[in-house]
Structure 1
Amino acid sequence: MFGVVQEQLRQTLEEIRAARLYKHERPLASPQAAHVFVDGAEVLNFCANDYLGLANHPAVVAAAHDALARWGFGMASVRFICGTQTPHTQLEERLSQFLGTEATILFSSCFDANAGLFEVLLDERDAVISDELNHASIIDGIRLCKAQRLRYRNRDVADLEAQLRRAANARRRLIVTDGVFSMHGYLAPLDAICDLADRYDAMVMVDDSHAVGMLGNSGAGTPELFGVQDRVDINTGTLGKALGGASGGYVSGRAEIVTLLRQRARPYLFSNSVAPAVVAGSLAALDLVIGNQADRGRLFRNAALFRRLMTEAGFELLSGAHPIVPVMFGDADLAGRIAEEMQRRHVYVTAFSFPVVPRGEARIRVQLSAGHSSDDVVSCVQAFVDARSTARRALAAGHDTHD
């Protein structure tokens, strides 16, 4: 039987390659950082989620080493059987304090947190109203529940209100949004969203994976930035970006919601606990994040410098101030060729095209870090300029850039 299926799969893979949409993995030969080694060369890394440069911070690594020696390598169990150690509860308590919430529950990833949330809270009597650009994990999680599903245009408060009116007869209404939209760097207007939630008796959930640790006065994310921490009912987020860059995710919010998730969320009940070394490293990362204005300031200065220099060089950028900076090319072939040329110039970036972004909206998503120097930023911009010239000449001549 597989012989027939095998040929079909090979054909699909060839179609992906022919469309230049095939995703290649390039192993790093060094720890995650602003400078990494790839294919035997040191390159500038502008495509990681290590916004604060903590993934290889000495204090984080030391905490993980100590935990490995004291608490062991892995839990070999789920939380409610024998997979809970003191550091797990400490991290949940610290995250609640940091985020200003009542309770927190850890998951293996934020993808699992979002996957396990909706079917616990919502059934066929309820409605979920989701931003059209929400992360894939939110989309998949919503598919697992039986609630009425409504979408509103990205950050469009008027359209959100229209969808809330459509859900007027639902028992529960849950508005769901990313705090920062990962392919655009846009921020959700949480103050206006919470105003509508109050008016229509709805709950609010925010996935703050690309904001926690960076945005807000203390780094607590978009709810803090918009002054709505006490009005957001559910925060989900990750430990795998600014908070140390390892793995693990969480749901943080109303105590009753978190308690019910401990009883019924399938990814929590049926997945191994987060590894002790990751938990300890994340606790150390939180210590470095809290009150650390210097790293956040350097991060956003780098983002502003990059945006200014790229605009002056004639590139099309999506507007914003977040350290996610999409450089728009539209054509997937051009974006892919420029990314390849950048890597030949020892600057590591990644092109994104369909199905990660809509057709015709191919881009290179640049992500700045506090670990970058201003010279690193200038070098990245110059590589973009040079790569664009080479890629355009190659396309005009009708051959590959490496010919």
Structure 2
Amino acid sequence: MGSKALSSFLKQNLDDLKSKGLYNEINILEGANGAIIKIDGKELVNLSSNNYLGFATNNAMIEKSIEATKKYGVGAGAVRTINGTLEIHRQLEKRIAEFKHTESAIAFQSGFNCNAGAIQAVMNKKDAILSDALNHASIIDGCKLSGAKILRYKHNDMNDLRARAKEAKESGLYEKIMVISDGVFSMDGDVVDLPGMVKVAEEFDLITYIDDAHGSGVMGNGAGTVKHFGLSDKVDFQIGTLSKAIGVVGGYVAGSKDLIDWLKVRARPFLFSTSLTPAASAACIEAFDIMTKSPEIVEKVWENGRYLKKGLKGLGFDIGHSETPITPCIIGDENLTQKFSKRLYEEGVYAKSIVFPTVPLGTGRVRNMPTAAHTKEMLDKALSIYEKIGKELGII
């Protein structure tokens, strides 16, 4: 029978989530996660993927992954520090550092693991972390794991950051202070004020940490938000993912050689979890090569983003203040957001509802992510369905 206490807890809380429109149904894709996806035999225009450059189905990357699997096997066979570091891992990290314009880089199994491992490898209970109010869950968890004092500052507000940095520095309570922010905020699509952050960091000797999961492959001709602002030499930690624009799986930290050497002996996910598969590593290297040789693929994401934004705004939807191809349609009420997403699905558009706790209560939205693989015809179809359902539900 199992524990009655657990059964009671689960039933009560699942019922509560469902009644408030906060329960997330997981859909199963019957094929690749491309511009068009199939669920339950139904084809849909896919606007919920983080596969920004369409690389998840790139033929050259698939071939490289097959070659690497035949050469190295399906798995690395050990953690990196024992004998799980293969030549393909060294090649990947060298390629990342070149692409990010840093001295060195270290690859992890996921972007989440980067934040879980890198923050606590450097920060501890004698330190403080200044964290943007809208930072990703993995940053929040990484900060908690470090044991450092977490000081939240208002979202992208450099005046508030400066005030809190000054207070923390002058208190004399902390040995080190870090400022940490997303580069591109995934739910609103806005961009960190990096020049402002760097200015504050230089004034108060703050360690700078940018999680560029949604900026890598999109900002700075693909090299990310830090490169976009020309501040590669001013940011200590550049975190990226290999799971979004790169289209595979994994994450990385790029920075100085000393930083990366330290993470290799102190970052717990690196020390205690088997490394990236050879196939994933080889596919990622090819992705970086493609972006370098064909920068127009990055421009295509921006072109499609501008087109979708213009169309949705013209229809009267609230698309917030996105500065990137990420395009939210902010509905507000959680139940209405869920209903809107469901009706889009029924009409042929897959645009997943995003509600609390991913976004604050009362700011439910459908997050749209056009990719380089979308055609104008696909986006036009999506816009016509948005118009139909928006009017039907009284949203526009």
User: So what's the TM-score if we normalise by structure 2?
Assistant: 0.96
Distance 1:376 1:213 in 2: 22
- Tell whether the 8 Å contact from 1:341 to 1:391 is kept in structure 2 after alignment: no
Distance 1:118 1:284 in 2: 29
**Secondary structure at 2:368 match in 1:** strand
Q: Tell me, which stretches of 5 or more residues in structure 2 are unaligned?
A: none
Distance, in Å, in 2 between the alignment partners of 1:149 and 1:36 is 41
| Percent identical residues | 34
Residue 393 of structure 2 aligns to a residue whose secondary structure is: helix
Q: CA offsets per residue over residues 182-226 of structure 1, 9 Å max, x none?
A: 11101001111111111111121000000111111x311001111
The separation in 2 between residues aligned to 1:361 and 1:321, in whole angstroms, is 18
Decide which of 221, 238, 248 is 1:246's aligned counterpart: 248
The code of the aligned residue for 2:372 comes to A
Q: Alpha-carbon deviations, 1:323-355, whole Å to 9, x = none? A: 111100001111111111111111111001111
Contact 2:351 2:368 in 1 (8 A): yes
Q: What RMSD over aligned residues (CA atoms) do the two structures have, in Å?
A: 1.3
- Establish whether residue 193 from structure 1 lines up as the match of residue 197 from structure 2: yes
Q: Which residue of 2 aligns with 1:234?
A: 237
Q: Deviations over 1:137-172 (max 9, x none)?
A: 000010011222211111100000011112212321
Aligned equivalents of 2:20 and 2:103: distance in 1? 48
Residue 109 of structure 1 corresponds to which residue in structure 2?
A: 110
Matches within 5 A, 1:20-59: 20-59=21-60
CA distance in 2, matches of 1:3, 1:149: 37
In 2, Cα distance between equivalents of 1:207 and 1:104: 14
Deviation at 1:391, TM superposition (A): 3.4
Paired residues of 1:237 and 1:251 also in contact (CA < 8 A): yes
Aligned to 1:396: none
Unaligned ranges ≥5, structure 1: 394-403
In 2, Cα distance between equivalents of 1:260 and 1:294: 36
How far off is 1:290 after superposition? 1.5
How far apart are the structure 1 equivalents of 2:6 and 2:394? 39
Q: SS state of the match for residue 358, structure 2? A: coil
1:1-400, aligned counterparts within 5 Å? 2-168=3-169, 169=172, 170-216=174-220, 218-243=221-246, 245-392=247-394
Whole-Å separation in 2 of the counterparts to 1:42 and 1:60: 25
> Do the aligned partners of 1:208 and 1:222 also contact (CA within 8 Å) in 2?
yes
CA distance in 2, matches of 1:145, 1:354: 25
The aligned amino acid for 2:309 is R
* Larger displacement relative to structure 2 (73-82 or 163-172): 163-172
**Structure 2 Cα separation of the partners of residues 8 and 231 of structure 1:** 48
Q: In structure 2, the residue corresponding to 1:209 is in which secondary structure?
A: coil
Secondary structure of 2:65's counterpart equals helix
Contact 1:178 1:207 in 2 (8 A): yes
CA contact 1:303–1:321 (8 Å) conserved in 2: no
**How far is the alpha carbon of 1:65 from its aligned partner?**
1.0
Q: Is the 8 A contact 1:304 1:321 kept in 2?
A: no
Q: Does the 8 Å contact 1:108/1:274 carry over to 2?
A: yes
| 1:219–1:291 contact (8 Å) kept in structure 2 | no
Q: Report the number of matched residues.
A: 391
Give the Cα–Cα distance (whole angstroms) in 2 for the partners of residues 367 and 238 of structure 1.
17
Deviations 1:256-299 (A, max 9, x none): 12111111111111111001100011111111112533112211
Q: Distance in 1 between matches of 2:56 and 2:83?
A: 28
Deviates more, 1:355-364 or 1:246-255: 246-255
Counterpart Cα distance in 1 of 2:248 and 2:11: 34
Is the 2:191–2:323 Cα contact (8 Å) retained in structure 1? no
SS at 1:167 equivalent: helix
Look up the equivalent residue of 2:183 and give its one-letter code.
G
Cα distance in 1 for residues equivalent to 2:366 and 2:164: 33
Q: Distance in 1 between matches of 2:6 and 2:195?
A: 50
